[in-house]
Structure 1
Amino acid sequence: MNKSDVETTEKDTDFGRQLAQARKAQNYTVEEISEHIKIPVHTISVLESSDLEKLPAPTFAKGYIRAYAKFLEISEDEVLEKYSLAVPRDEESSLRPRSNLPGEASSQSPLVKSITMLLIIAGIAAVIFGSFKYYQEKAGAMEGELDNRAQSYTGSSLDSPAINPSETEQNPGLSGDDKLLVGQLDSSEDMSAATDEQDVAAVAGDTDNEERPALESEVETVTEEEIVAEQAAENDIIEFFAENGSWMEVRDANNARLFYNMVPVGSTKVIVGKAPFSVTMGNAKTTRVVINDLEVDMTGYIRPNNTAIFRVSTDGQDIIIQ
């Protein structure tokens, strides 16, 4: 093997150089990479130097390489291929599980697969049965409560027989059997007067009943409007328009997390809280941000990997972003 072949082989197996070059091209430090992919700084340095002796077992090393390459948006398979060429074959094979137990069943054997499938089915059935029993008992309890409430109305004025006003005397008496004695009015004039008085009282009662809900409704409306006005005055509003979708995390001035999720393609997300808002987002180039009806220009905060991290608030008609 001549000198050029040796240099070519070393270049093909130098997986760490490719990772380091990609990191530097995107202006990332080792510490920033460690913070994003949750890999220790020491391990990242060992990966970039292709130091196989200091790297962990191939299984873990491949996981680190895959996460690193994915974050830098370079080909994971290409870097892993260089790593595989650099790792000695005997080192990879030494990590494969071996067993000296005779007749030990493999995890790929039909028996193990069948038992595993039965356990999974039994677990699912147990969950379904438990859920059914829970909701059945809950429905029974609710039905019993409704029955008790219905019985509580028995004997109320709604079920009592109506009494004809014309048959009622002003001072009724009680018989020996404690039954109400109802006498007849002495004259048709008294009957007519009593009927007129009851009609006037009924009309007055209906008028009061019609006016009372209207007044209560006005009071409730005024209260709701005051509450909405107070909330709008105390809080800030930030809106996100995700043309191609965007994952994001939003925190308020007290560092309380207000949102941590994916905004679907073409959707709008409105968040109410106390500014300044701390925003971390992806697909930043195709996402618009508006705070308190003022559009935010975040061009200077968009990173090479199309993410953005910034804090934003308003001062009157001015936007403060940092």
Structure 2
Amino acid sequence: MSDEAAKPVSAGQLLRQAREQRQMSIQQVALQLNLKAELVEKLELDQLDGTTLETFSRGYVRAYGRLLKLPETELMAALSRQSEGKTPASKPMRTFSNRAAHQAIENRFMWLTYAIIALLLVLLFVWWWQSARESTDVVFEQAVTDNAVVDNVMNIPQVQPVLAEPVSGAVTTDTALQEDNTASILTDLTPTTLTTEVAVEQTSNTAVAESIVQDVLEMRFEQRCWVNVVDATGNRVAYGTKQAGYIMQLSGEAPFEVTLGNPSVVEISLNQQVFDMSAFPGGRVAKFTIPESE
């Protein structure tokens, strides 16, 4: 038995033999199967390449066999024998594991970048806040220093002139004349004149004492606070930053115009009468008058 007789018939050969027996052309078959003539030739020559999936190839062969009325079992068995001899090249399956890992790394870098940007913004805000606070403290301290210098200048005691004591036993002619004038003046004064002068002097002393009496404003600081106080005459009686625990007593003519940087930490009393500070919110600058005008 020759090799050709021992070799099994392929599916393409069965299709070609059946088409030739029915005297049909490749174009006629392609037209009835709605396929290209080149594909019909490849089916007969068993030359289906990897571009055509095995499922479609088997479907084309089955449809071609039905058109030629070939036994489907025999035709598909021949096609299976052909498929066993050919090992289809395995295509590498795409996996998304590498992409997912790469994306996870990108997400980590992205969050790390966001965290660094947020940290830089926080540091920038802290630096700006500290700079603004330091500049404000410098202005307040300079104002306090200037106020202290003015207070020190105003509080310098006046130097009274020192009169030289007369030497005992040395009486000048001017002193003798002054004594004679004083004696003559006292001789001319009557008791009525002395009484009137005493009354006038007491009245003037009382008026001076009443004019000297001023209002007393007391301020107690629970925390550090900036303050500015001006009395009714326009005199600034207090200015600057006061530390926690500081007690300040001011004298002047009411009403007082008060400005506080944080009124919630200050207790105020005018002439030993407590002033209500509940109406002023904490942490905000407040400007008000003590006593309040009706």
- TM-score under structure 1 length normalisation: 0.26
**Greater relative contact order structure (CA < 8 Å, 6+ sep):** 2
Q: Which has the larger radius of gyration?
A: 2
- TM-score under structure 2 length normalisation: 0.28
